[in-house]
């Protein structure tokens, strides 16, 4: 007895449809990998280093950042530390970061008379100047700038944003390609040897299974720093109330200065304005020592930074962003009365701000202590191996003298269907969506040229 012709044809059509969908997904997975993998390697290497920024800076800059603990000696007042820094480097003090631990130095940021901004390190016990670096001149600031590609301008930062969106596509298409479909090898085990392509294919697939969720999480939590999507979401979340999260009462006069202009702040406060102080005509401003006394009385976490008032309406602004989100805090102080004008912490952020700040804190390896750092370190190492495995797999598969782009599906509608799903994601991330359209147009042009070339060769034959 033979199969009915109609049933046989239906089965063949289903196989053809499945094969076409697989090829369409594979083709876009290839394109995504081609774009993302160089970024994945760079971000993973710099990100792995930045996880241990405090430890690395403490070793590399030990002569500046570390001091001998003097149990019998009380720390010098902030004014003395500031005076010592200005004696060594004349100019104007912009801010001071007080020691976070008994063996930490104080850091005074000075705008020198020559126009240079320096970070001057001072021993808090005897006010001895230990040395200086350009502001944000530590090795970890360099790594951070490389990680964000800020060295290379806004276009490069835009590419980072696009790479984050394509990373999510890479994970989703990779999950589809990994799906077993009846095979037992290469699902959670490795077959073959390093000399064989199947070994690198299985290594890539298994690592992708383990790392996929982490890659998507890091891409999503890295998006808030992006120049287009991140800036717009920040504006939407904190655009009212002078850039402060919804729920924070801002009923004092505000300046046009932003907190981020004076140094790093949390994502939620990048657009936050600095308030104005009143009373300058009838009162004498308090000094830095009195301001620090008020901040200490308010219970700020050790190691906070105080930005000095700018002009007669300036305020003392203290901020601290330790690993514990609950301890993050910003306080603006009237420079004349010593009265807090705005006092806010993580608990004052709106729901969106709290969610994003939590994700960022995990992204930075801060939320769960050493375990957080070690897990992300393993992920960064795995990402590099994943990228190398993809390259080796492609190199062993590609035809000689060709790119080895996965073949077009027999049913072109499948390719369009995958592209349509990608377009939906592009609505949420416009810059990523634009890159999808560019890649789709290039793919159509290349495919059309390939078909015309082969049609011409067939006609001549």
170-185 pLDDT, tens digit each: 998 899 889 887 777 7
Q: Which structural domains are found in the chain, ordered by start?
A: 19-51+147-225+371-460 (no CATH), 64-137 (3.10.450), 248-349 (no CATH)
The Cβ of residue 423 has, within 10 Å, a number of other Cβ atoms equal to 13
Is the pLDDT at 302 greater than 50? The verdict is yes
For 168, the token pair is: 């999510």
Burial (Cβ within 10 Å: 0-12, 13-18, ≥19) of residue 180? exposed
φ/ψ of residue 200, rounded to 5: -70, -35
For 262, the token pair is: 């004076």
Cα-based distances in Å from 17 to 9, 181, 250, 409: 12, 15, 59, 9
**At 458, is the pLDDT very low, low, confident or very high (cuts 50, 70, 90)?**
very low
Cβ neighbours of residue 24 under 8 Å, at least 6 residues apart? 409, 414, 415, 417, 418
229-266 pLDDT, tens digit each: 887 777 776 665 677 776 666 777 788 888 887 777 88
What DSSP line would sit under 413-439, residue for residue?
A: HHHHHHHHHHHHHHHHSHHHHHHHHHH
Q: What is the pLDDT of residue 13?
A: 66
What's the chain's average pLDDT? 86
Taking residues 364-385, what's their average pLDDT?
97
Angle between helices 153-178 and 5-51 (to 10 degrees): 140
Cβ neighbours of residue 233 under 8 Å, at least 6 residues apart? 223, 224
Taking residues 215-233, what's their average pLDDT?
86
Taking residues 328-341, what's their average pLDDT?
93
Taking residues 72-97, what's their average pLDDT?
95
Cβ neighbours of residue 135 under 8 Å, at least 6 residues apart? 109, 117, 118, 119
> What whole-number distance in Å separates Cα of residue 291 and Cα of residue 441?
60
Instruction: List helix spans (H) across 138-180.
Output: 139-148, 153-178
16-56 pLDDT, tens digit each: 777 878 888 888 899 889 889 999 999 999 999 999 999 99
**At 457, is the pLDDT very low, low, confident or very high (cuts 50, 70, 90)?**
very low
Q: Decide if 23 contacts 408 (C-beta within 8 A).
A: yes
Radius of gyration of the chain (CA): 28
> What whole-number distance in Å separates Cα of residue 284 and Cα of residue 234?
37
Is the pLDDT at 461 greater than 80? The verdict is no
399-454 pLDDT, tens digit each: 887 777 887 776 666 666 667 767 777 777 778 888 888 877 777 776 665 555 55
Taking residues 316-325, what's their average pLDDT?
94
């Amino acid at each position: 007895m033979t199969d009915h012709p109609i049933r046989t044809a239906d089965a063949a059509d289903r196989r053809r449809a499945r094969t076409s969908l697989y090829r369409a997904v594979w083709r876009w997975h290839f394109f995504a990998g081609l774009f993302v993998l160089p970024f994945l390697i760079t971000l993973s290497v710099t990100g792995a280093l930045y996880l241990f920024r405090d430890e690395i800076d403490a070793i590399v800059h030990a002569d500046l950042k570390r001091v001998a603990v003097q149990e019998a000696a009380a720390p010098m007042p902030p004014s003395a530390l500031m005076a010592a820094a200005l004696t060594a480097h004349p100019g104007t003090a912009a801010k001071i970061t007080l020691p976070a631990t008994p063996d930490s130095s104080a850091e005074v940021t000075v705008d020198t008379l020559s126009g240079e901004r320096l970070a001057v390190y001072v021993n808090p016990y005897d006010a001895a100047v230990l040395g200086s670096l350009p502001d944000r001149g530590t090795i970890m600031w360099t790594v951070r700038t490389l990680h964000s590609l800020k060295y290379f301008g806004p276009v490069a930062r835009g590419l980072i944003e696009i790479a984050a969106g394509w990373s999510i596509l890479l994970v989703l298409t990779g999950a589809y390609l990994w799906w077993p479909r009846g095979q037992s090898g290469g699902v959670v085990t490795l077959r073959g040897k390093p000399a064989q392509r199947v070994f690198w294919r299985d290594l890539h697939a298994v690592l992708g299974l383990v790392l996929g969720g982490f890659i998507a999480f890091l891409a999503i939590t890295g998006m808030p720093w992006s120049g287009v999507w991140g800036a717009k979401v920040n504006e939407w979340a904190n655009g009212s109330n002078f850039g402060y999260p919804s729920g924070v009462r801002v009923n004092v006069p505000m300046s046009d200065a932003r907190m981020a202009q004076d140094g790093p702040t949390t994502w939620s406060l990048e657009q936050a304005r600095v308030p104005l102080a009143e009373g300058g005509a009838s009162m004498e401003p308090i000094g830095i020592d009195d301001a620090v006394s008020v901040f200490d009385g308010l219970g700020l976490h050790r190691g906070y930074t105080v930005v000095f008032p700018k002009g007669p309406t300036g305020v003392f602004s203290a901020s601290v962003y330790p690993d514990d989100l609950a301890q993050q805090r910003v306080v603006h102080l009237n420079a004349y009365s010593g009265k807090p004008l705005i006092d806010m912490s993580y608990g004052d952020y709106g729901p969106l701000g709290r969610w994003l700040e939590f994700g960022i804190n995990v992204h930075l390896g801060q939320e769960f202590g050493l375990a957080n750092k070690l897990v992300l370190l393993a992920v960064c190492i795995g990402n590099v191996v994943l990228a190398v495995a993809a390259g080796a797999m492609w190199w062993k598969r590609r035809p000689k003298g060709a790119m080895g782009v996965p073949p077009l599906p027999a049913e072109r509608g499948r390719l369009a269907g995958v592209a349509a799903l990608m377009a939906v994601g592009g609505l949420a991330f416009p810059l990523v969506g634009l890159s999808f359209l560019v890649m789709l147009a290039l793919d159509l042009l290349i495919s059309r040229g390939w078909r015309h070339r082969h049609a011409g060769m067939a006609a001549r034959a």
